[in-house]
Amino acid sequence: MSTSTLPAEAPLHFQPRTQALRAEAAIEPDAPASGPVTKTTQIIAIYGKGGIGKSFTLANLSYMMAQQGKKVLLIGCDPKSDTTSLLFGGKACPTIIETSSRKKLAGETVAIGDVCFKRDGVYAMELGGPEVGRGCGGRGIIHGFETLEKLGFHDWGFDYVLLDFLGDVVCGGFGLPIARDMCQKVIVVGSNDLQSLYVANNVCSAVEYFRKLGGNVGVAGMVINKDDGTGQAEAFAQRAGIPVLAAIPAHDDIRRKSASYDIIGKPDGEWGPLFATLAANVADAPPVRPRPQTQDELLSLFSADVTGRDFKMEPATLFDMVGRTELTKPSLEVVYDAA
C-alpha cells in the first residue's frame, strides 16, 4: 500500500515568485461584454475566372457602398494588379510587394500613404505579385498580407473589406481567406459560360472542403456578369444552393463605360439601382455551405451540341502508342494445383 507524500516547502528564494503567481491567479477576469456590438467589419473574398469582370463589379460595388455612407477598403489580390484601375481612372496603384521591396532596399519602412489611396470614400490598395516566370503569385499574396498585418490591418475600422481574388489559380496563397478563416464569406462572379462556372464550382468545392475540416467560411452568393439571359449561371446557383445577388446585363453602355474607366455604380446614375441592390444583398446575405457539382452535372447545364458531352471515350492501345501489336507473353509464375 503506497502513501502519497506532500510536496516539500519551496525554497525561500522561490517563495516571492510563487506568491506573486498565486496573487495573479486569484484576480477574477473581466466580465464578458454584453452590450450591443458597435463595430463589426465584414471581410468578403470575391472569386471568379480571370477576365470575368470581378474588378469591374468590385470597383462599382465599393463606390456605391461608400456613397451609402459605409467605410470600404478594396484590396486587389491579383498579380495583374488591376483591381483598382477603374477607381483611379486607369492609373496603376503602387503595389504593396513592389513598394515593400523598394523601401527595404532603401532602409525605410512602408507607411499607409505609400500603398493606400482613396476616392470619394473608397480606400483601395493592391497586393501585387511577381512578373511572369519570376516567382510564385501565391507566395506574393502571403507576403502582402504579412505586410498588411505589420501596418495594423486588424486594427483598422472599416465596415467592409473586399478582397479581389483570382479564382482559376489554385495554389495556397489564393485560397488563404478560405483556408485560414480570414473572411466571413465568399462571393463568386460568373457568367453563362462553362469555364466561369467551372471556376465558381471549384471555389464552392474549396469552401465545402475547409468546412469539413472545421472552417467557418461560407458562400454568400453569386454575381452574374455579362448576363445574356440564357440562364446557365442562374441554374448553377440554384443547384449549388446559393442565391443570385445581382445579374449585370451584357449591355453595350456598360461595356463602353467600363472600357473608359467610368464608374457606373453611382446613386444618381442609370445603373445606380442595380448596384444599390447588389450592395444591400452583399451586406445581408448569410454565408451558407454550397453544394458543389460534379463535372457531369456542370455539363448538363448546357446543351450537348455546345459541350460535346455525348462523346464516347475510346481507350488507347499499345499499337496506337508504339505501332506494333501487343504480345501476350507466358507467365513465369508457378501455379500449384489445389491440394
Helical segments of the chain, H only: 15-25, 54-67, 96-105, 112-115, 137-150, 176-179, 194-212, 232-240, 252-259, 272-284, 295-299, 304-307, 318-322
Give me the half-sphere count of Cα atoms (radius 13 Å) on the Cβ side of residue 37: 4
Count of C-beta atoms within a 10 Å radius of residue 189: 30
Q: Kindly tell me the burial class for residue 330, based on how many C-beta atoms sit within 10 Å of its own C-beta (0-12, 13-18, 19 or more).
A: exposed
Secondary structure letter of residue 4 according to DSSP: -
Signed CA dihedral, 233, 244, 288, 152: sign only:
positive
Cell numbers linked to 6: 506532500
CA distance 172 to 308: 33
From residue 257, how far is each of 49, 89, 270, 279, 301 by CA, in Å?
A: 21, 11, 12, 20, 31
Closest listed residue to residue 85, CA positions, set 274, 258, 278, 279: 258
CA distance 22 to 65: 52
Count of C-beta atoms within a 10 Å radius of residue 174: 25
Query: Are the beta carbons of 178 and 206 closer than 8 angstroms?
Result: yes
Secondary structure letter of residue 95 according to DSSP: B
Positions annotated as catalytic residues are 49, 54, 80, 168
Cell numbers linked to 79: 498579380
